[in-house]
Amino acid sequence: MAAKTQEFSSVWTRPERPRREQPALSREQIVAEALALLDTEGYDALSMRKLGTRLNAGATSLYTHVTNKDEILELAIDEAFRDVRTPDSDAPENWRDEMVRLGSAVRAAILSHPWISIAMTGAGLAYLGPNLLRISNALLGLLAAAGFDDRAADRGANVFWSYVLGATSGETAMLTTIARSGMDEKEWFAQFMATAEQATQPYPHIARRYDVYRSLDPTQSREDFFEDELRLIVDGLEPRRIGGTGK
């Protein structure tokens, strides 16, 4: 006899269970407190027991709304993107600028909640959250309005997310290291550069890059590099656009 297939469950599609607590504990309260805990204490601090304590409710009370910690992370991740403004598909001639602006807004949201970079690797259904769906839907709409067919728009959106999430994950990792060092960013960068210059001496192409980096403002260069690199990707999409230079 074949084993019964386990039903696929998601916090995004499962109806909320009846509330039994007095006073009622809402999903919104859980998400707000989870965000506060993650922002102040980091990814590793989140547990059902600790969150329940902060809410003056037993951990079992949380199961009225979620089935496990991963679902809380999905809810918290999506909430962190609530204020990201979506691109304007009514002005498709500005699609490049709109994509770069959106990437910068997503980056800003992640930098404000650096635990997201770690959480996204394990919260596999976070992309089904209403805020992330809203952003992705608007991005695809912008690409469609700009003249990309469905396949090209899909590939363009995928590479957009891959770069933005990948680049920002590296950035948050570096900022976490700096915070743990007790130094400010300029102090840490100066010490890092001294080490990097020594380590890269046998590799002339890399060493030449670090020679240029030495004079940069580290905070401003992080922003400048992100935008410049994202523009390289966005410009590379042009040949895929119907009526673009590559067709």
pLDDT in tens, 48-100: 889 988 988 876 678 778 888 888 999 999 999 999 999 887 888 899 999 99
Q: How confident is the model at residue 113, as a pLDDT? A: 95
Burial class of residue 8, CB neighbours in 10 A (0-12, 13-18, 19+): exposed
- Give me the percent of the chain exceeding a pLDDT of 70: 88
Asked whether the beta carbons of 94 and 106 are under 8 A apart, the reply is: no
Q: Name residue 105's amino acid.
A: A
- Asked if 110 and 172 count as a contact pair (C-beta separation under 8 A), the reply is yes
Cβ proximity of 30 and 55 under 8 Å: yes
Give the count of beta carbons closer than 10 Å to the beta carbon of residue 122: 12
d(CA 141, CA 120): 24
Q: How many angstroms separate the CA atoms of 33 and 65, rounded?
A: 14
- Which residue matches tokens 């004079």? 215
pLDDT at 106: 97
CATH of region 27-80: 1.10.10.60
Length of the chain: 247
pLDDT in tens, 105-125: 999 999 999 999 888 876 667
Rounded to two decimals, what is the model's pTM? Answer: 0.86
On whether the 92-182+216-240 domain is CATH 1.10.357.10, my answer is yes
Q: Measured between alpha carbons, how far is 17 from 58 in angstroms, rounded to an integer?
A: 17
pLDDT digits 0-9 by tens, 152-174: 999 999 999 999 999 999 999 99
Domain ranges for the chain, please list them: 27-80, 92-182+216-240
pLDDT of residue 18: 59
Lowest mean pLDDT among 2-6, 54-58, 180-184: 2-6
Q: Do 46 and 37 touch, CB atoms closer than 8 A?
A: yes
Distance between CA atoms of residues 176 and 171, nearest Å: 9
What tokens does 203 get?
């590799």
Q: Which of residues 173 and 25 earns the better pLDDT score?
A: 173
Average pLDDT for residues 177-189, to the nearest whole number? 93
